[in-house]
């Protein structure tokens, strides 16, 4: 990448610092990750050859509790990216008032090129390499891009083998049969849906009058698309890594999801029973989807999708960031000047880590909740924090992103100051 993601993330921190009164100790602590680990993971491939993969784990800040964050398998994983994601996780956990700090991990590879056996050996090898760096009271990994409950189960099992006892709370996002929480797989989408529903009450616009475009039709994007479709929103465009579809009259999202699950592709279809028919639509690129004239734009793919190069072409009235860091700081200023309301990732996609927290609590207590209980608690948390951030934005006349960082900074500042700062020691 031509710029540092972490430096870009820190620009958001600097902007929010103008609106808080914190000790210099707090800002100094938050400028740097607490610990960064780079590891080499040797894997015996199915053909007998040996490949060595590069892996990372970063614990950014643990002022509020053990660190928490996903592990992604992707060709573009770098230490800078992982540090940036750990930075965002620190603020995300604070925004939702979770007793966690932020962490992230990743391995640089294309997981589609590996067999299931190779992926298992890689996942277990990663845990072998970072076992001393993680733990239920230290750092708790979770799923992220191209990782799933099966991979989390392998990781939990490998850690338990190393420790010679069953420790389900070391990893979240596990299969239900291994201590996973009901609602975890849909938590990111469900949390985003609760944010959207809460936010849209502040604008005089009904779901039936609201058009939506979603970039990214993976686990979070596809589930969110269906939630919005069933709530009456007009979802007119969706896309995956290969491109997307657009239909001005709206798409039948459940039918598209069925096609995607069966053929791994996206087409605008309508299904009745087992019979599906292609409906009129336009094929579009991911870049074209971002520039559609819609009410709500939802980037739910990868980071750095809205930049200074294309921000002026964004025509949506509201942007809800389901991906991590889809809008860079240079684009923020352009979108704000255009009057576009951007609801930031550290709020919108925090449903995943919130239900991960619920899973961790259930693992620690040995008492497991119903799906209704999980979703009730999630809705309560997402709604409350959205309203608080909206109120801060109105009170300070700042963007919603800055308001979210102010909200998180106040909570992080309280935790850091509780341990003693310069003001305490020199008074």
Q: Do both 233 and 145 map to the same domain?
A: no
CA distance 169 to 171: 5
Residue 199 near residue 390, CB atoms below 8 Å? yes
Q: For the chain, give the number of residues.
A: 427
Looking at the structure of the chain, the number of domains it has is 2
* Angle of the 79-95 helix axis to the 5-17 helix axis, nearest 10: 30
Q: Are residues 51 and 198 in the same domain?
A: no
Residue 411, CA distances (Å) to 97, 206, 300, 315, 408 in order: 8, 34, 27, 34, 5
Q: Is residue 86 part of a domain?
A: yes
Q: Which residues contact 253 (CB under 8 A, 6 or more apart)?
A: 222, 225, 226, 228, 229, 235, 238
Whether residue 376 is contained in a domain is answered as no
pTM: 0.91
Cβ within 8 Å of residue 218, ≥6 positions away = 240, 300, 301
Judgement on whether residues 146 and 195 belong to the same structural domain of the protein:
no
Decide: helix, strand or coil at residue 13.
Answer: helix
Encode the chain (427 residues) as per-residue pLDDT tens digits. Answer: 335 667 777 777 888 889 998 888 888 888 889 999 999 999 999 999 999 999 999 999 999 999 999 999 999 999 999 998 899 899 999 999 999 999 999 999 999 999 999 999 999 999 999 999 999 999 999 998 899 999 999 999 999 999 999 999 999 999 999 999 999 999 999 999 999 999 999 998 899 999 999 999 988 999 999 999 999 999 999 998 888 899 999 998 998 898 887 776 776 777 777 667 777 788 899 999 999 999 999 999 988 899 999 999 999 999 999 998 899 989 999 999 999 999 999 999 999 999 999 999 999 999 999 999 999 999 999 999 999 999 999 999 999 999 999 999 999 999 988 888 877 788 6
Q: Please identify, among 348, 372, 403, the residue that sits at the C-terminal boundary of a domain.
A: 348
In-domain check, residue 371: no
Distance CA 8, CA 333 (A): 13
In a domain, 424, yes or no: no
Provide the token pair at 196: 């959207």
| Of 205, 272, 279, 281, residue with least CA distance to 244 | 281
CATH of the domain at 48: 3.40.50.10860
Looking at the structure, do residues 245 and 155 belong to the same domain, yes or no? no
Structure tokens that stand for 289 in this block: 């989807």
Q: Quote the CA–CA distance of 86 and 306 in Å, as a whole number.
A: 20
- How far apart CA 362 and CA 369 sit, in angstroms, is 8
Q: Are residues 152 and 224 in the same domain?
A: no
User: Are 200 and 344 in a shared domain?
Assistant: yes
| CATH code for the domain in which residue 333 is found | 3.40.50.720
Residues 173 and 193 in one domain: no
| Whether 144 contacts 115, CB under 8 Å | no
Domain that holds residue 231: 187-348
User: Comparing C-alpha atoms, which of 394, 420, 393, 421 is closest to residue 406?
Assistant: 393
Q: Which of 15, 92, 104, 260 is catalytic?
A: 104
Is 116 in the active site? no
In a domain, residue 209? The reply is yes
Q: How many CA atoms lie within 13 A of 204 on its CB side?
A: 0
Which of 348, 382, 412 is the last residue in one of the domains? 348
Instruction: Tell me, yes or no, whether 314 lies in a domain.
Output: yes
- Whether 123 is covered by a domain: the verdict is yes
268 φ, ψ (degrees, to nearest 5): -80, 110
Asked if 261 contacts 268 with a C-beta cutoff of 8 angstroms, the reply is: no
End residue of a domain, out of 152, 178, 204: 178
For residue 329, being part of any structural domain is answered with yes
């Amino acid at each position: 990448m031509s710029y540092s993601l972490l430096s870009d993330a820190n620009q958001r921190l600097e902007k929010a610092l103008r609106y808080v009164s914190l000790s210099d100790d707090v800002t100094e602590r938050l400028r740097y990750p607490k610990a960064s680990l780079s590891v080499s993971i040797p894997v015996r491939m199915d053909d007998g050859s040996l490949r060595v993969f590069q892996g990372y784990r970063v614990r950014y800040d643990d002022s509020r509790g053990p660190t928490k964050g996903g592990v992604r398998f992707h060709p573009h994983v770098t230490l800078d990216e992982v540090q940036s994601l750990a930075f965002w996780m620190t603020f995300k956990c604070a925004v939702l008032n979770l007793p966690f700090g932020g962490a992230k991990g990743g391995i640089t590879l294309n997981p589609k090129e590996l067999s299931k056996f190779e992926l298992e050996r890689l996942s277990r090898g990663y845990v072998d390499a970072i076992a001393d760096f993680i733990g239920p009271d230290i750092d708790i990994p979770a799923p992220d891009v191209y990782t799933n409950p099966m991979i989390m189960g392998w990781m939990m099992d490998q850690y338990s083998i190393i420790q010679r006892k069953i420790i389900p709370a070391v990893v979240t996002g596990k299969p239900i049969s291994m201590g996973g929480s009901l609602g975890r797989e849909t938590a990111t989408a469900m949390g985003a849906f609760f944010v959207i529903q809460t936010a849209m009450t502040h604008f005089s616009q009904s779901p039936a009058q609201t058009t939506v475009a979603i970039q990214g039709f993976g686990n979070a994007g596809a589930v969110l698309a269906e939630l919005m479709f069933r709530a009456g929103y007009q979802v007119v465009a969706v896309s995956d890594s290969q491109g997307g579809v657009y239909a001005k009259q709206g798409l039948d999202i459940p039918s598209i999801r069925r096609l995607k699950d069966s053929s791994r592709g996206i087409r605008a279809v309508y299904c009745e029973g087992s019979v599906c028919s292609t409906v009129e639509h336009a094929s579009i690129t991911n870049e074209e989807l971002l520039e559609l004239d819609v009410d709500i734009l939802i980037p739910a793919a990868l980071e750095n999708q809205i930049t200074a190069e294309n921000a002026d072409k964004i025509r949506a009235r509201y942007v809800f960031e389901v991906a991590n860091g889809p809008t860079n700081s240079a684009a923020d200023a352009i979108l704000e000047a255009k009057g576009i309301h951007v609801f930031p990732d550290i709020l919108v996609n925090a449903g995943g880590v919130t239900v991960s927290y619920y899973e961790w609590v259930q693992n620690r207590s040995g008492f497991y909740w119903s799906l209704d209980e999980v979703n009730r608690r999630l809705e309560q948390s997402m709604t409350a924090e959205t309203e608080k951030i909206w109120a801060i934005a109105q009170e300070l006349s700042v963007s919603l992103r800055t308001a979210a960082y102010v909200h998180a900074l106040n909570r992080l500042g309280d935790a850091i100051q509780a341990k003693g700062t310069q003001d305490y020691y020199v008074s």
